[in-house]
Structure 1
Amino acid sequence: MKSCFYFSRLTSVLVLAIGLAACGDHSLLAKDDTPVLGEKNIRNLIPSRVQNRLSWAKDIQQIMDELKIERSKQNVCTIIAVVDQESNFVANPQVPNLGRTAVEEVNNRLEEKFSDKLGERLGIPVAKYFQDVLKTQPSKENSYLSQMKKVKTEKDLDVLYRQIFDYMTKHYHVSAFTDAARLVGQDIAEKMNPINTLGSMQVHIHYAKAHERNNLNINDLRDDLYTQNGGLYYGIHRLMQYDAKYSKQIYRFADYNSGMYSSRNAAVQQALAKLTETKLDLDGDLLLYNKNEDVQSAKSQSEIAINKLFAQNGVVITAKQVRSDLKKEKEVDFENTQTYLALKSQYLEKTGKKLAYAIMPQVVISGPKLSRDYNTNWYASRVNTRYESCMRRAK
C-alpha cells in the first residue's frame, strides 16, 4: 500500500533504540517513552505488496513532521490504514467502470444536477447546452462524450470536466439570464464539477481549499491532490489534525467517513434519544446543513430534543444558547459548552451512568464510485482491520 526489521524481536525500549539506529533511523522517544519512527520503520509498516514503499514512507514522515504529528506507531498505522483502504497506496488509482458510470450520470441526472446547482431557470437550458457540447465538441469524431467513456482515473474525468466547462464559459452566451454571473470564469467549473473527493486519501475539495498550501488556484490544487505528496498531505491533515478523546481508533476512522466528531456527536444523539424517548438518527450531525455545509435555520430533531429535555427538567439554558453551542459541534470546544455539560449531568442523574464519549455513527455511504451502498460501520471496521494488521507488524 527488505531491509532490517526489528519490531517483532525487540523486548525493551533500549534494544529498540539500538535496532532503529542500526537501520539508519532516528532513535528518538516520544513523551510516553514509545519510539518515534523513521522512514525505514514506516516503510516496513506499509504492506509489502505496495510499490515504492520507501517513497511513500518519506512523504509520510515529511508531512507528519510538517504538521507536527508525533511519529508513534499508533499515528503512523492510523495513516497507513486509511491510505490503504482508500487507494491501496496508488496516488491516482483507476476506478472500475468509471467511464460508463460517468456517462450514465450524464444521461440520467443531468438536468436534475444543473437545476439543483443553478436553479431551474438557468439550470435546464445550461444542461441542454452541456449535453450538446458533450456530443459535438471539440469535434464529432472525438467528442467529449466519447472521451468520457474511456476515462480510467478520477483525474482523467476531473480534467475532462474542466475542459468541458472551460469551453462552455468561453462559448455560451448567457446575457438573457439574470444569473449569468454564475457562469463567469471558473465559478461554473468548480460549482458543477462532480469530482468532489480526490486523491489517494479521498479528501473533499472543500476541505482542501480551506487548508490549502502554497497559494494554489483551484485547478492547481486539484492537480496537487492527485500527486503522492499532495494526496497524503491533505488526507493526513484531515485525519489527524483535530483533538478527540477517543479510546479506540475505530472512531477516528468513522469520523473520516462521516465527519469530524461524528462519533462523539452520535453518542450525544443516543443519550438524547434515551432521555427524551425520541427516535433520532444517530448520524453525528446535531444541526441541519445544506450542500455547501452551511448551517440551516431550521431546527434538527436533535436540537428540538435538547430544548425539550432542558425545558422538562428545569435546565436554564436558552434555545439561543443551545443553537450557539451546537454550532461548535465540529470542534473539541463543544465539550466545554453549557449544552454538552448539562446533557452529561442530566444523563448521569437520570441513568446513573456516564455519558458515552463516542459510538459508531449510523450513516449510509453511497455514490457513483461505489458498487452498492455501505455504511460508516462497514467503512470504519475495514480500516480498523488494516490498522490492527499494521500494529501487529509494529510489535
Structure 2
Amino acid sequence: MTFPSKLKRGLFLAGALLALTTCSRGVRGPDTQTPPPPRLTPAEVARLIPSHVEDRQGWAKDVLAALEEQRVYPSVEPVCQVLAVIEQESGFQANPVVKDLPRIVRKRLDTYAEKLGVVGRKALQALLEHRAPGESRSFGARLKAVRTERDLDRLFREILKAYEEQYPAVYTAADLASELARSKGLADLNPITTAGSMQVSVRYAVEQSDEDRPEAEVREELYTRAGGVRHGTSRLLGYTAHYAQPLHRFADYNAGFYASRNAALQAQVSHLTGLPLALDGDLLLYNDEGEPRDEDSRTLKALLAFRTRHAPKVSERQVRRDARKEKQGDFEETETWRAIKQAYERSTGKTPEYSRLPEVAIRSPKMSQDRTTAWFARSVDRRFQRCLGQHRAPAK
C-alpha cells in the first residue's frame, strides 16, 4: 500500500472541510447536514499533552503538521489518537531511553559470535577493542555507555562499518557461516528496528520514503520530534479501515495493517470449517522483509477448505490471489471476502463482525516482559479516552 509522503498545505486547506476525516479513519467527518467538529489550534493541542512534557507547543505543532500531511482534519479525535500513541510508546521522548540497553545488544552480539565458532568470537573481541577514527574509547567501552536508541543505532552502524572495512576476510567468512547456520547477519542484529517517539518500524519508514534515500538518513529523521511524529501518524492514520472505534486501529498499529479486520475473518473461517486458527490477523506467512512466503499458512489452508465446502464456484487460484490482498483495503471487495461473510451469516443468522482484537504476543529486546497486542491496544485506548475527557473538561 502507498501513502502520501509530500502534500502541499494549500491542498489540505482547500479540502479540509470536505470528507477528509471519515469514520473509516476513526473520526466522524463533516457532511452537508452537520457542521464539522471544531478544528483544534496548537494551544488547544498543547493543553492535551501532559504538563511535565517539555515544549508542549512544539509537540502540538508537529502533530498538527503530521495530520495535515495525511489530510486528516485536526479535530480532537485524531489528535488524541496520535497523542495517545506517543505517550504509550515513548512518554513524549523523541529519542527514548531504553533500560539495560548495553546488555541487550552485547548479548545479541555474543550469541551471533558463538554461532560462528572460534573465528566469530575472535572477530567480535577484536572489533570491540577497535577505536573509530578520532575516538579515544573502544567500541566496547562506548557500548557500555549507550542509553538511548539513537546512540546505540549510531554506534551499531559505526561497528558494522568498521567490521566491513577493517575485517573484510572475516566479514565474508561470517556471512557464509551465517548463511549455513541460518542465523541473521550482523547488520540484522541491530535491536533498533522501531524508533522515535512513536516507535515506528524502520522498515515502514524506509518504504514510505524516497527510493534513493539511504536507510541511515531515514533512521536519523525518526529520532527528530517532527520526523518521528510524521512517520508515526502516517502509520496510524494513513490507511482506510471501517473500524467503529479507534481501539482496533491501535491494535493494527502494533500488529500490522488490517490485523483487527483479518482476525475477525479468521474467527469466521474457523467457525465455518471447524479448523482451529491463531487469530493473529495474518492470513499468509511472511519473511523478515515482509514478503509473502511460498509455504501455505494454516489460515490459507483453512481458506482453501472453506472454498471446497462452502464456495466451490470460487477457484483455488482466486482464493490465493485474494489472500495476497490481506494488507489492503480492497481485500474487502474480493470474492473470497464476500463468500466468507455470506456463508457465516447463513450459518449463524448473525451479522459477521468486521473486526476484533488480534491475538498476538509482543516480544522485543527493548521490553522487560512479554505483552500482547490486546494489552497494547487497550493501554493506548485508555490514554485516548483520557485525552478526550481532558478536552471536554473546562480549561483551568
Q: Deviations over 1:299-353 (max 9, x none)?
A: 1111111111121124311111111101110011000001001100110111111
Paired residue secondary structure (2:105): helix
Counterpart AA for 2:159: I
Paired residue secondary structure (2:146): coil
The residue aligned with 2:124 is 131
Pick one of 90, 93, 97 that aligns with 1:87: 90
Q: Is the 8 A contact 1:30 1:72 kept in 2?
A: no
Equivalences for 1:19-168 in 2 at 5 Å? 30-31=30-31, 32=34, 33-111=36-114, 127-128=120-121, 130-138=123-131, 142-168=137-163
Q: Is the 8 A contact 1:81 1:390 kept in 2?
A: yes
Paired residue secondary structure (1:69): coil
Paired residue secondary structure (2:169): coil
Question: Counterparts of 1:227 and 1:390 in 2: how far apart (Å)?
Answer: 24
TM-score, normalised to structure 1, is 0.83
Q: Deviations over 1:29-73 (max 9, x none)?
A: 954521111211111111222111000001111121122111011
Which runs of no fewer than 5 residues in structure 1 stay unpaired? 1-28, 113-122, 183-187
Question: Structure 2 vs 1, CA of residues 251 and 130 (structure 1 numbering), >3 Å: closer, same or farther?
Answer: farther
The residue aligned with 2:283 is 286
Paired residue secondary structure (1:174): helix
Q: Deviations over 1:207-265 (max 9, x none)?
A: 00111169632211111110000111110111110000101111001000110100000
Question: Counterparts of 1:282 and 1:216 in 2: how far apart (Å)?
Answer: 36
Q: Is the 8 A contact 1:165 1:189 kept in 2?
A: yes
Give the RMSD, CA atoms, in angstroms.
2.5
Q: Is the 8 A contact 2:252 2:259 kept in 1?
A: yes
Paired residue secondary structure (1:243): coil
TM-score, normalised to structure 2, is 0.83
Counterpart AA for 1:75: P
Paired residue secondary structure (2:168): coil
Question: Counterparts of 2:174 and 2:160 in 1: how far apart (Å)?
Answer: 20
Quote how far apart the aligned CAs of 1:193 are.
Answer: 3.0
The residue aligned with 2:305 is 308
Question: Counterparts of 2:290 and 2:114 in 1: how far apart (Å)?
Answer: 23
Quote how far apart the aligned CAs of 1:109 are.
Answer: 4.5
Question: Structure 2 vs 1, CA of residues 236 and 189 (structure 1 numbering), >3 Å: closer, same or farther?
Answer: farther
1:244 aligns with 2:237: no
Q: Is the 8 A contact 2:95 2:197 kept in 1?
A: yes
Q: Is the 8 A contact 2:284 2:299 kept in 1?
A: yes
Question: Structure 2 vs 1, CA of residues 178 and 167 (structure 1 numbering), >3 Å: closer, same or farther?
Answer: closer
1:341 aligns with 2:334: no
Paired residue secondary structure (1:394): helix
Q: Is the 8 A contact 1:203 1:235 kept in 2?
A: yes
Question: Structure 2 vs 1, CA of residues 178 and 374 (structure 1 numbering), >3 Å: closer, same or farther?
Answer: closer
Question: Counterparts of 2:193 and 2:391 in 1: how far apart (Å)?
Answer: 34
Q: Deviations over 1:168-190 (max 9, x none)?
A: 1112233976978x9xxxxx775
Equivalences for 1:270-281 in 2 at 5 Å? 270-281=267-278
The residue aligned with 1:205 is 202
Question: Counterparts of 2:190 and 2:99 in 1: how far apart (Å)?
Answer: 20
Pick one of 303, 323, 326 that aligns with 2:323: 326
Q: How many residues align?
A: 352
Aligned identity (percent) is 36
Q: Is the 8 A contact 1:91 1:227 kept in 2?
A: yes
Quote how far apart the aligned CAs of 1:132 are.
Answer: 2.5
Counterpart AA for 1:221: V
Q: Is the 8 A contact 1:98 1:369 kept in 2?
A: yes
Counterpart AA for 2:82: I
Q: Is the 8 A contact 1:286 1:303 kept in 2?
A: yes
Equivalences for 1:246-261 in 2 at 5 Å? 246-261=243-258
Bigger Cα displacement from structure 2, 312-321 vs 366-375: 312-321
Counterpart AA for 1:170: E
Quote how far apart the aligned CAs of 1:105 are.
Answer: 2.5
Counterpart AA for 2:130: Q
Question: Structure 2 vs 1, CA of residues 214 and 88 (structure 1 numbering), >3 Å: closer, same or farther?
Answer: farther
Which runs of no fewer than 5 residues in structure 2 stay unpaired? 1-28, 179-184
Question: Structure 2 vs 1, CA of residues 141 and 59 (structure 1 numbering), >3 Å: closer, same or farther?
Answer: closer
Pick one of 263, 266, 281 that aligns with 2:263: 266
